[in-house]
């Protein structure tokens, strides 16, 4: 199964397991054992198992090894039918999970044996097809939810595509759109036959009905309206060639929406999407598929010269109900339209009008302003715009440049005074550099203002992220109202482009049938007062319970990097944590191997190695099992440095704790930390009762592994960092189990709301839909095997359901089978006593991939300061890839939990 890597990262989950021949429907044969009652499943239900089912894998490991296997070679993602038998020593069958942020419809899978797809859909031997929906789920309590999808009526007009060539070539979509707008204005009634085309800003133009020509050249003169407020304006001439390319097949699209074809015509969907975006592009600031404006809601300051703009996301997509327009609220960070000097003062947090800048200040300004568009303010009516390319290393008063071919030199201060009558006051500040390196121009900071409407694409600080989340966070009822107001304000049915193409959008959001799946029973240790637990509304606690496999920690130490935490406080915290671990079911030595070691954050490697060697000497060859690390609340790169050094160099398993938790000891916090420590030691906190009793359809039939894979991409503003992937290269020769491959997407814009916000029985405490709510009808794919599952309880804001898409299924899962398994697994995340929003194998893979970022050793900083991950050696820069250091074996065993 070849996979195309698309943009925007999120998790994906894969399940691999052998298929039992001639088996009954796995849901039907276990239907009576589904837990809907108030007590755990009875022994009688356990005795009614199908004879073919096996006893717990822990007691019968390796008993059934007769099925085929599959080898997964590094760098390949091909899924093949099972053909060869496993050897007696082969591993149990595997299940896997992966992560990319794509809409599942954009990932490619080779059809099995190249034959036509299921359901009789026409296809060629070269076609690609995902798993088809085997039916709809029936389990759970039925309910109605509302989705932010709005029915779009399929147009009945021919859609035509034309190629556009602009000479001289223009890289800016904004300029291209201005050229096309001028062309339509001049020639709509004459040469365009009264057509109102939609334009993608690049190479494609779309019309409803044909234009009167197959090929035509136009000459367009574009006036730069922003250049001068009053007076003569600059004029540029362009040649535009429009050439007919193809006609989109709406009949094909109609058949696809009706479920009569397996493959959707992407061209027709793309045209409709561009048509519905055309008016919004003219009204708002487009960013990807979203639109922003300071007029939608008052911008909120984020600090350091940034502000949060509100906007909306819009995308048209095929669903079971037909074409659907998905509308959601959005927010993004924009650079505030300030005078540059004021922006710099906010960025540095100090007045810059009286004292020179330090080298670190200059580097910070350079990074913040590089690529930002500014307009000059010193030329009266002239408002020429430039893009900042850099910052001078010298202050303005020292800058000179040649003014003629004889290399006659003149200072920047003199030039601006003589040429524009503008006196530069802040000559101690550097100038902005605009233009390219060969011909760079100098602009004094006080003569420039930041152009409005520029999205900030670099990395946000923690404080800015928190502020942005506050703007984004809306309760379900408020978010739903904002979405409805956006649809009404956009008034799509009065949109001239929608009218031109015959597209009608309903203002009523979709009402969808949903089901609330029951929470699974969880098994704890027999010595606890509560041996079993049924979570309520996605939550439970550890009171009266003991971990099902509590581990022993007898050799541990603590290192304290926080100056504000005194030794007595640290010792008290460690004692409390040790007691909580014991109460939860672990054996935890109350005394550390060596006294708590106080260290400086700037000597992290030296301090960690000192503690390590001190413990090794004291233990005489035995391993230190756990290192507790107390960190300052704002610790910069310290956390990553600790993890990198301990896990790739020293082979130490660590548990980090922030200062605020050390001072304010919370029982809930200590309980959660104890859960993390136990799994890091190799223990298990809880398991599904059905797993112990072998009542999980398909998965209980034969030994099965479920594993995850994830890729984490560089953050905004860190383009030089590599993408880092986790999860499986090679397990064993001739290992070919049947495979079910599922992608789970978190970064999407479908939201589900309670049908009645006042009905407390249908919402959790935050006003969100109940955990376990699953949807596989109406707003899901017309033919493919996908579903939305909200597996977690809301905390604040509006819950986002995970979108699961079964791409490949050799195990013949039913809808109920895969939905129940997925929901139940979300209750097995080891680090908390809550159901989580993404299936844990993918969650663990995400943690592992993100952890790998810390393993990238820092390079020499740029110009004496800046990002620790820029630059690097020549060899690394040329290859573009830096090999990751190897993990120590003891860390590798528990990597997902560290």
- CATH among 3.30.930.10, 3.40.50.2300, 2.40.110.10, 3.30.1360.120 for 549-683: 3.40.50.2300
Between the alpha carbon of residue 557 and those of residues 442, 593, 594, 660, 683, the distances in Å are: 57, 6, 6, 20, 20
Same fold, 340-451 and 549-683: no
The angle that helices 604-619 and 638-645 make with each other, rounded to 10 degrees, is 40
Residue ranges of the alpha helices (H) in 473-566?
Answer: 476-490, 496-501
pLDDT averaged per 10 residues in sequence order, the chain, 898 residues? 35 41 38 44 42 33 33 31 32 36 29 31 50 96 98 90 96 94 96 96 95 96 66 82 93 90 87 96 95 95 95 96 96 96 94 89 94 92 88 93 84 93 94 77 94 93 90 93 96 95 96 98 96 96 96 97 96 97 97 96 96 95 94 92 94 96 95 96 95 85 80 62 57 75 93 94 94 98 96 94 94 94 96 95 88 70 37 44 77 77
**Backbone region of residue 694 per phi and psi (left: phi > 0; alpha: psi in -120 to 50; beta: other values):** left
Distance CA 107, CA 806 (A): 11
- Return the half-sphere exposure (C-beta side, CA atoms, 13 A cut-off) of residue 635: 24
Find how far residue 1's CA is from the centre of its chain. 23
Residues ≥6 apart with Cβ < 8 Å to 230: 381
Distance CA 32, CA 28 (A): 8
Query: How many degrees, rounded to 5, is the angle at CA 148 between CA 143 and CA 151?
Result: 100
Distance CA 70, CA 731 (A): 9
| 450 strand-pairing partners | 374
| DSSP for 250-314, written as a single string | HHHHHHHHTTS-SS--HHHHHHHHHHHHHHHHHHSEEETTEEE-TTTS--EEEETTEEEEEEEEE
Contact yes or no for 143/517 (Cβ under 8 A): no
Between the alpha carbon of residue 185 and those of residues 191, 197, 694, the distances in Å are: 11, 11, 71
Contact yes or no for 726/87 (Cβ under 8 A): no
What pLDDT is recorded for position 818? 95
Residue showing tokens 């984020």: 302
Domain 340-451 = CATH 2.170.260.10: yes
The token pair that represents 761 in the structure block: 């029985």
pTM of the model: 0.83
- Residue 895's nearest CA partner among 648, 650, 680 is 680
The CA dihedral of 657, 659, 662, 663, to the nearest 10 degrees, is -170
Residue ranges per structural domain of the chain: 156-248, 340-451, 549-683
What pLDDT is recorded for position 542? 94
The token pair that represents 464 in the structure block: 């800015």
Helix (H, G, I), strand (E, B) or coil at 808: strand
């Amino acid at each position: 199964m070849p996979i195309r890597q698309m943009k925007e990262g999120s998790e994906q989950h894969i399940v691999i397991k052998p298929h039992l021949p001639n088996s009954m429907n796995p849901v039907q044969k276990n239907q009576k054992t589904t837990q809907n009652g108030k007590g755990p499943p009875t022994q009688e239900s356990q005795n009614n198992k199908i004879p073919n089912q096996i006893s717990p894998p822990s007691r019968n490991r390796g008993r059934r090894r007769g099925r085929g296997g599959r080898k997964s070679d590094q760098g390949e993602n091909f899924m093949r039918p099972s053909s060869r038998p496993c050897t007696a020593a082969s591993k149990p069958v595997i299940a896997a999970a992966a992560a990319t942020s794509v809409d599942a419809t954009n990932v490619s899978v080779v059809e099995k044996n190249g034959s036509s797809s299921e359901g009789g859909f026409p296809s060629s031997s070269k076609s690609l097809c995902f798993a088809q929906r085997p039916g709809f789920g029936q389990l759970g309590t039925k309910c109605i939810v509302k989705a932010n999808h709005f029915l779009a009526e399929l147009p009945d007009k021919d859609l035509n595509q034309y190629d556009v060539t602009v000479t001289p070539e223009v890289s800016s979509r904004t300029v291209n759109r201005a050229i096309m707008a001028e062309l339509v204005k001049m020639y709509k009634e004459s040469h365009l036959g009264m057509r109102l085309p939609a334009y993608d800003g690049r190479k494609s133009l779309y019309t409803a009905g044909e234009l009167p020509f197959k090929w035509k050249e136009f000459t367009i003169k574009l006036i730069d309206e922003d250049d001068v407020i009053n007076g003569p304006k600059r004029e540029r001439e362009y040649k535009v060639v429009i050439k007919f390319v193809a006609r989109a097949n709406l009949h094909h699209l109609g058949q696809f929406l009706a479920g009569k074809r397996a493959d959707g015509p992407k061209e027709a969907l793309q045209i409709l999407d561009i048509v519905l975006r055309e008016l919004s592009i003219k009204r708002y600031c487009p960013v990807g598929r979203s639109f922003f404006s300071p007029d939608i809601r008052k911008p909120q300051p984020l600090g350091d010269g940034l502000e949060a703009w509100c906007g909306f996301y819009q995308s048209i997509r095929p669903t079971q109900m037909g074409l659907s327009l998905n509308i959601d609220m959005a927010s993004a960070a924009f650079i505030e339209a300030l005078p540059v000097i004021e922006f710099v003062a906010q960025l540095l947090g100090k007045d810059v009008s009286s004292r020179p800048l330090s080298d670190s200040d200059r580097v910070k300004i350079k990074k913040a302003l590089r690529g930002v568009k500014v307009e000059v303010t010193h030329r009266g009516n002239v408002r020429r715009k430039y893009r900042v390319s850099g910052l001078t290393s010298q202050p303005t008063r020292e800058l000179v440049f040649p003014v003629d071919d004889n290399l006659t030199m003149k200072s920047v201060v003199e030039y601006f005074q003589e040429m524009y009558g503008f006196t530069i006051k802040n000559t101690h500040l550097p100038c902005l550099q605009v233009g390219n390196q060969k011909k760079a121009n100098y602009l004094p900071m006080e003569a420039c203002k930041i152009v409005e409407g520029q999205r900030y694409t670099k990395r946000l600080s923690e404080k800015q992220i928190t502020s942005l989340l506050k703007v984004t966070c809306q309760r379900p009822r408020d978010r739903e109202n904002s979405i409805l107001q956006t649809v009404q304000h956009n008034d799509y049915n009065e949109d001239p482009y929608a009218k031109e193409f015959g597209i009608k959008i309903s203002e009523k959001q979709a009402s969808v049938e949903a089901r609330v799946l029951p929470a699974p029973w969880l098994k704890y240790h027999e010595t606890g007062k509560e041996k079993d637990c049924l979570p309520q509304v996605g939550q439970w606690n550890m009171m009266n319970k003991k971990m099902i496999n509590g581990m022993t920690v007898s050799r541990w130490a603590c290192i304290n990097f926080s100056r504000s935490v005194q030794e007595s406080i640290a010792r008290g915290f460690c004692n409390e944590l040790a007691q909580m671990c014991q109460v939860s079911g672990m054996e935890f030595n109350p005394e550390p191997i060596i006294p708590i070691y106080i260290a400086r954050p700037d000597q992290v490697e030296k301090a960690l190695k000192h503690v390590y060697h001190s413990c090794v000497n004291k233990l005489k060859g035995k391993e230190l099992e756990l290192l507790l690390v107390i960190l300052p609340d704002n610790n910069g790169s310290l956390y990553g440095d600790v993890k990198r050094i301990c896990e790739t160099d020293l082979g130490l398993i660590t548990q980090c704790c922030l200062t605020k938790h050390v001072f304010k000891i919370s029982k809930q916090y200590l309980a959660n930390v104890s859960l993390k420590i136990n799994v890091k030691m190799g223990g298990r906190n809880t398991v599904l009762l059905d797993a112990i009793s072998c009542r999980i359809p398909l998965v209980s039939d034969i030994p099965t592994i479920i594993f995850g894979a994830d890729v984490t991409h560089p953050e905004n503003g860190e383009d030089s960092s590599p993408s880092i992937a986790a999860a499986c290269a090679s397990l064993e020769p001739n290992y070919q189990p049947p495979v079910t491959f599922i992608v789970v997407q978190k970064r999407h814009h479908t939201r589900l709301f309670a049908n009645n916000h006042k009905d407390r029985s249908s919402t959790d405490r935050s006003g969100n839909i109940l955990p376990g709510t699953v949807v596989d009808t109406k707003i899901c794919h017309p033919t493919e095997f996908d579903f939305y599952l909200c597996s977690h309880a809301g905390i604040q804001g509006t819950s986002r359901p995970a979108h699961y898409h079964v791409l490949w299924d050799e195990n013949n899962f039913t809808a109920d089978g895969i939905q129940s398994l997925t929901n139940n697994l979300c209750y097995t995340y080891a680090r908390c006593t809550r159901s989580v929003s993404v299936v844990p194998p993918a969650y663990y893979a995400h943690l592992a991939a993100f952890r790998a970022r810390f393993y990238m050793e820092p390079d020499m900083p740029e110009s004496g300061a800046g990002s620790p991950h820029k630059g690097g050696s020549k060899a690394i820069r040329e290859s573009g890839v830096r090999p990751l250091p190897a993990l120590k074996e003891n860390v590798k065993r528990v990597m997902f939990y560290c």
